[in-house]
C-alpha cells in the first residue's frame, strides 16, 4: 500500500543503507517500502540470529552484555511461541500473561497456525500459559528486547571459548594497538562507520566487527564473524544465499571511505571467521578477484537503489522495471 504522507516524511530525511536494508531492497523493493518507508518492519526473533548477536557481543564487547541483553530466569520460548506472544501485544496491554483474555491467545495461535491439531481450547491455552512464557511476557510487555535464557548464554560462552582458543582466530583478533605513537598497526573493533556517496541521494553505514590497518605491509584487513547452522563445507553456498558478498562489499567501501587519505592506496583484504553448528572453525580469505567482482556488483546494487529513490517506484525489482524479463 502506498502512503504519500510517509513517503514524503521518509524522503525529507537523510538515509544511509546498511547491508541488511540494501539487501532487502534488492530482494523485494515492496518489502523495503513496507519496512523502511512505512516503518512496519517486523522484529526478527529467530534463535540463531539472537545467538549470533550474543556471540558477537561476548567476543568483541563483553562489557556491554548486560546492556544489550536481558537474561530470563527460565527458558525463553520457541521461535513459534515467541511469534504468538508478540502477535498478542497488538490486542492487549495486560501486564500479566494469566490475565490475558482467552480469545486473544486463541486468535493469535490461529493466526500463527500453532497448536491447531489439539482438540480443545483448554489444551492450547495451557501451552501458552506456562511460567517460562509468563517470564518472557513480562519482558516484552514492558518493551524489553533481546531476551535470552541462561542455557543460550552458556552455549554462546562455550562457543566464544572455542573461538578464543583457536590459534588463527586469536592471532587475528587479539592484536592491540600499543601506546607507541609510531605503532605500525591500528585496530578497530565493533566500529560504527558511515559515508556519503557521491552522485547518490543516500549513504552507507554499518558496524564492522574488526579491522586492522598495517602501515608496514600497507594492507587493511577486515574480519567478519559468521555463525552458521550448516557446515563450513557449505559456506560458499551460504555466502550466495544470504548475499554475504554484499555485506563484504559494503564493509570494504565503508572502511575505505573512512581511511586517512594517505592510506587509501592500501590493499583491502576481507576475511570471514566462521564457526558452524559442529563447532568447526575456519577463516575464509576472500580473493582479490572475488572482491573486485563483489564491488562491481555493489555498484550495480547502488544504481538500482538510485533508480528506486529517484522514481519513488518500489513496486518491482529494478531489472523488472527497466527491461522486459522473459523466461
Name the class of domain 167-321.
alpha beta
Classified as helix, coil or strand, 43 is coil
Mean pLDDT of the chain: 92
Look at residue 246 in the predicted model and tell me its pLDDT: 98
% residues pLDDT > 90 (the chain): 78
**Rounded-to-integer distance, Cα 125 and Cα 102, Å:** 7
Cell digits of residue 323? 527491461
Residue found by looking up cell 523502511 in the block = 36
Helix H segments across 188-315?
Answer: 235-241, 244-257, 288-311
Average pLDDT estimate for 41-63: 85
Sketch the domain layout of the chain as residue ranges: 41-158, 167-321
Predicted TM-score (pTM) of the model is: 0.86
Look at residue 145 in the predicted model and tell me its pLDDT: 80
Look at residue 279 in the predicted model and tell me its pLDDT: 94
| pLDDT of residue 177 exceeding 50 | no
**Rounded-to-integer distance, Cα 105 and Cα 84, Å:** 8
Per residue in 126-146, pLDDT (tens digit) is 999 999 999 999 998 988 888
| pLDDT of residue 250 exceeding 80 | yes
| pLDDT of residue 222 exceeding 50 | yes
Cell digits of residue 286? 576472500
The answer to whether the beta carbons of residues 321 and 305 sit under 8 Å apart is no
| pLDDT of residue 183 exceeding 80 | no
The answer to whether the beta carbons of residues 162 and 273 sit under 8 Å apart is no
| pLDDT of residue 321 exceeding 50 | yes
**Rounded-to-integer distance, Cα 227 and Cα 48, Å:** 8
Per residue in 272-319, pLDDT (tens digit) is 999 999 999 999 999 999 999 999 999 999 999 999 999 999 999 999
pLDDT tier for residue 181 given thresholds of 50, 70 and 90: low
Amino acid at each position: 500500500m502506498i502512503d504519500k504522507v510517509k513517503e514524503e516524511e521518509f524522503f525529507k530525511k537523510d538515509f544511509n543503507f546498511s547491508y541488511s536494508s540494501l539487501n532487502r531492497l534488492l530482494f523485494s523493493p515492496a518489502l523495503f517500502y513496507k519496512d523502511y518507508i512505512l516503518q512496519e518492519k517486523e522484529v526478527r526473533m529467530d534463535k540463531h540470529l539472537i545467538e549470533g548477536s550474543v556471540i558477537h557481543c561476548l567476543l568483541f564487547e563483553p562489557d556491554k552484555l548486560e546492556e544489550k541483553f536481558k537474561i530470563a530466569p527460565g527458558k525463553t520460548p520457541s521461535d513459534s511461541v515467541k511469534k504468538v506472544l508478540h502477535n498478542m501485544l497488538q490486542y492487549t496491554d495486560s501486564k500479566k500473561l494469566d490475565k490475558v483474555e482467552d480469545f486473544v491467545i486463541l486468535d493469535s495461535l490461529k493466526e500463527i497456525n500453532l497448536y491447531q491439531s489439539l482438540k480443545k481450547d483448554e489444551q492450547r491455552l495451557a501451552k501458552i500459559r506456562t511460567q517460562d512464557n509468563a517470564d518472557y511476557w513480562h519482558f516484552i510487555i514492558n518493551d524489553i528486547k533481546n531476551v535470552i535464557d541462561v542455557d543460550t548464554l552458556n552455549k554462546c560462552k562455550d562457543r566464544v571459548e572455542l573461538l578464543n582458543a583457536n590459534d588463527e582466530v586469536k592471532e587475528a583478533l587479539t592484536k592491540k594497538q600499543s601506546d607507541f605513537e609510531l605503532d605500525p598497526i591500528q585496530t578497530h573493533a565493533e566500529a560504527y562507520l558511515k559515508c556519503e556517496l557521491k552522485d547518490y541521494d543516500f549513504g552507507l553505514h554499518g558496524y564492522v566487527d574488526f579491522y586492522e590497518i598495517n602501515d608496514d605491509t600497507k594492507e587493511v584487513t577486515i574480519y567478519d564473524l559468521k555463525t552458521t547452522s550448516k557446515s563450513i563445507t557449505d559456506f560458499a553456498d551460504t555466502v550466495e544465499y544470504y548475499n554475504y558478498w554484499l555485506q563484504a562489499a559494503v564493509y570494504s567501501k565503508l572502511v575505505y571511505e573512512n581511511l586517512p587519505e594517505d592510506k587509501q592506496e592500501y590493499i583491502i583484504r576481507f576475511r570471514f571467521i566462521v564457526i558452524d553448528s559442529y563447532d568447526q572453525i575456519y577463516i575464509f580469505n576472500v580473493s582479490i578477484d572475488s572482491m573486485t567482482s563483489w564491488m562491481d556488483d555493489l555498484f550495480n546494487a547502488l544504481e538500482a537503489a538510485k533508480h528506486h529513490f529517484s522514481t519513488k517506484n518500489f513496486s518491482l525489482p529494478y531489472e523488472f522495471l527497466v527491461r522486459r524479463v522473459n523466461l
